[in-house]
Structure formats: C-alpha cells, structure tokens
C-alpha cells in the first residue's frame, strides 16, 4: 500500500469520504454445468464501493446530467418527426451530451466514471483479472 491510496483516484487531490463512493456493479459469467441445456447466460453480480471524494461525486453527477439532458431534449424535439426525427434528434443530443460531459470532466481534470476509465482502477484490477467484468454479459 502506498500513500496514494489515501487520495481520491479520480482527481488525485482530495481525500475520499464516506457516502461519496462510486457504487460499481461487477458481473461474472457462471459456466453452465451442462452443455446440453438451452444456452442461457448466467452471471453473478457484485457491488463494489470505489472510494471517491465529494467533489468528484458531484462532478460525475453533473457530467451524467450533461449527458442525458441533450439526449432527452433531442428525443423530444425529434419525436414529431417519427423515426427519422428521433434518430436525428437523438443522435445530435447524444453528440452534444457526450461532448459536454467530456468538457466538464476535462476542465476539472478528473477521470470519468465510465467503464473504459474504471478498467484502469487498481481496486478493480484484481477483480477483472479474476474474471469479473464491468458490463452486463450479453
Ligand atoms: Zn476526487
């Protein structure tokens, strides 16, 4: 254990506090006992508390809102245009939301709470090596 473990992994500046943890679900596929049965994905799930400081918790929540708002608005605006309207409105909303969220996190120089980002988290590395995954098996 090094000293850095006392710092929030996302910003590497503040100390993590209780109640600000990022609750992350991990999944692990359970191998079917009998290969003859109908193929069905079975997995176990586990909830991991990732230590986080209140500032990062707030920024992650803000980033999530920045992501979903334009998407929802795009969907509403595109709704009268039926399917093509939804695709255009939703697509534009997705693009705006994605860019906006990225800007918030970049401006504050904190790591995002996305799966791609969390793959590098030392706390999760052991679980990932053990066969756990960050997204639901499909
Ligand atoms: Zn932080």
**Is residue 135 in some structural domain?**
no
pTM of the predicted protein model: 0.76
User: What is the H or E stretch that residue 84 is in?
Assistant: helix 82-107
2: how many CB neighbours lie within 10 A of its CB? 6
How remote is the CA of residue 108 from the centroid of ligand 1, in Å? Answer: 10
* pLDDT over 50 at 1, yes or no: no
Residue 46: domain span? 3-129
How remote is the CA of residue 122 from the centroid of ligand 1, in Å? Answer: 15
The band of 5, judged by pLDDT with boundaries at 50, 70 and 90, is: low
**Is residue 138 in some structural domain?**
no
Mean pLDDT throughout 30-47? 72
**Is residue 90 in some structural domain?**
yes
* pLDDT over 70 at 35, yes or no: no
How remote is the CA of residue 129 from the centroid of ligand 1, in Å? Answer: 25
Cα angle value 23/96/112 (rounded, 5°): 30
**Is residue 137 in some structural domain?**
no
How remote is the CA of residue 49 from the centroid of ligand 1, in Å? Answer: 14
**Is residue 91 in some structural domain?**
yes
Q: What is the dihedral of CA 56, 49, 44, 68, to 10 degrees?
A: -20
- 39-94: per-residue pLDDT in tens? 667 889 999 999 999 999 999 999 989 988 898 989 888 888 888 888 989 999 99
Number of domains in the chain: 1
How remote is the CA of residue 98 from the centroid of ligand 1, in Å? Answer: 21
């Amino acid at each position: 254990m090094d000293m850095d473990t006392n710092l929030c992994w996302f910003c590497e500046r503040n100390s993590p506090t209780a109640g600000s943890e990022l609750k992350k679900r991990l999944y692990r596929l359970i191998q079917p006992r009998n290969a003859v049965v109908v193929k069905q994905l079975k997995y176990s799930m586990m909830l991991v508390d990732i230590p986080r400081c209140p500032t990062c918790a707030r920024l992650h929540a803000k980033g999530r809102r920045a992501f979903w708002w334009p998407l929802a608005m795009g969907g509403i605006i595109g709704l009268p245009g039926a399917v093509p309207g939804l695709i255009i409105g939703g697509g534009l909303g997705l693009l705006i939301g994605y860019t906006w969220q990225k800007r918030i996190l970049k401006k504050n120089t904190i790591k995002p709470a996305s799966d791609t980002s969390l793959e590098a988290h030392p706390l999760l590395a052991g679980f990932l090596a053990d066969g756990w995954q960050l997204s639901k098996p499909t």
